[in-house]
Amino acid sequence: MNKEWPIWEIFIRSKNGLEHRHCGSLHAADEEMAIQNARDVYTRRQEGVSIWVVESKHITASNPEKNGEMFEPAADKVYRHPTFYELPDEIKHM
Amino acid sequence: MENKTLSLEDQFQNRIDSGENIEAKDWMPEKYRKTHIRQISQHAHSEVVGMLPEGNWISRAPSLRRKVALLAKVQDEAGHGLYLYSAAETLGISREELNEQLNSGRAKYSSIFNYPTVSWADMGAVGWLVDGAAIINQVMLTKTSYGPYARAMVRICKEESFHQRQGYEIMLSLCNGTEAQKAMSQDALNRWWWPSMMMFGPRDEESPNTEQSMKWKIKKKTNDELRQQFVDQTVPQVEILGLTVPDKDLKWNDETGHYDFGTIDWDEFWDVVKGNGLMNEKRLKDRNEAWDEGKWVRDGASAYADKQAEKRAKKTA
By CA distance, what is A25's nearest residue in B?
B86
ipTM of the complex as predicted: 0.86
Angle between helices B95-103 and B64-89 (to 10 degrees): 120
Q: Is B312 on the interface with A (CB under 8 A)?
A: no
- DSSP lists the bridge partners of residue A52 as A11
* pLDDT of B3: 53
| Mutation site, B82, B97, B307, interface A, largest A CB count within 10 A | B82
Give B295's contacts in chain A (Cβ within 8 Å): 1
The residue of chain B nearest to residue A3, with distances taken between CA atoms, is: B302
Give the Cα separation of A22 and B90 in Å (integer): 15
- The tens-digit pLDDT sequence of chain B (317 residues) is 455 556 889 999 999 999 999 999 999 999 999 999 999 999 999 999 999 999 989 999 999 999 999 999 999 999 999 999 999 999 999 999 999 999 999 999 999 999 999 999 999 999 999 999 999 999 999 999 999 999 999 999 999 989 999 999 999 999 999 999 999 999 999 999 999 999 999 999 998 888 889 999 999 999 999 999 999 999 999 999 999 999 999 999 999 999 999 999 999 999 999 999 999 999 999 999 999 999 999 999 999 999 999 998 998 87
Closest-CA distance, A33 to chain B, in angstroms, reads: 8
Q: How far is B25 from chain A (nearest CA, A)?
A: 7
Closest Cα in chain B, distance from residue A92 (Å) = 37
CA distance A38 to B261: 45
Q: pLDDT tens digit string along B15-42? A: 999 999 999 999 999 999 999 999 999 9
Between chains, do A24 and B301 touch, taking CB under 8 Å as contact?
no
* Backbone torsion region of residue B177, taken as left when φ is above 0, otherwise alpha when ψ lies between -120 and 50, otherwise beta: beta
Give residue B4's pLDDT: 54
Give the model's pLDDT for residue B5.
54
CA distance A25 to chain B (A): 6
A contact test, residue of B25, B146, B157, B311 with most A CBs within 10 A: B25
Rounded CA separation B134/B199 (Å) = 8
pLDDT tens for each residue of B119-141? 999 999 999 999 999 999 999 99
Distance from CA of A76 to the nearest CA of B (A): 21
Query: Among partner residues A29, A32, A64, which is closest to B26 by beta-carbon distance?
Result: A64
Residue type, A31: E
Chain B residues with CB-CB distance to A25 below 8 A: 86, 89
Contacts of A5 in chain B (CB under 8 A): 301-302
Q: Which domains does chain A have, with CATH numbers?
A: 7-62 (3.10.20.520)
Determine the 3-state secondary structure of B284 from DSSP.
helix
pTM equals 0.92
d(CA B216, CA B110): 22
- Predicted pLDDT at B80: 97
Residue A72: burial class (beta carbons within 10 Å; 0-12, 13-18, 19+): exposed
Mean pLDDT of chain A: 93
Q: Which backbone phi and psi does B59 adopt, to 5 degrees?
A: -75, -10
Hey, is A51 helix, strand or coil? strand
Q: Which of A46-55, A58-67, B5-14 has the highest mean pLDDT?
A: A46-55
How far does Cα B196 stand from its chain's mean position? 11
Query: Is the Cβ of B311 closer than 8 Å to some Cβ of chain A?
Result: no
pLDDT of residue A35: 98
Chain A contact for B25 (CB, 8 A cutoff): yes
Size of chain A in residues:
94
Query: Cα–Cα distance between B139 and B153 in angstroms, integer?
Result: 7
Q: Over 50: is that where the pLDDT of A40 sits? A: yes
- Taking CB atoms and an 8 Å cutoff, what residues of chain B touch A27? 95
pLDDT at B152: 96
Cross-chain Cβ contact B79/A30 below 8 Å: no
pLDDT band at A4 (very low <50, low <70, confident <90, very high): confident
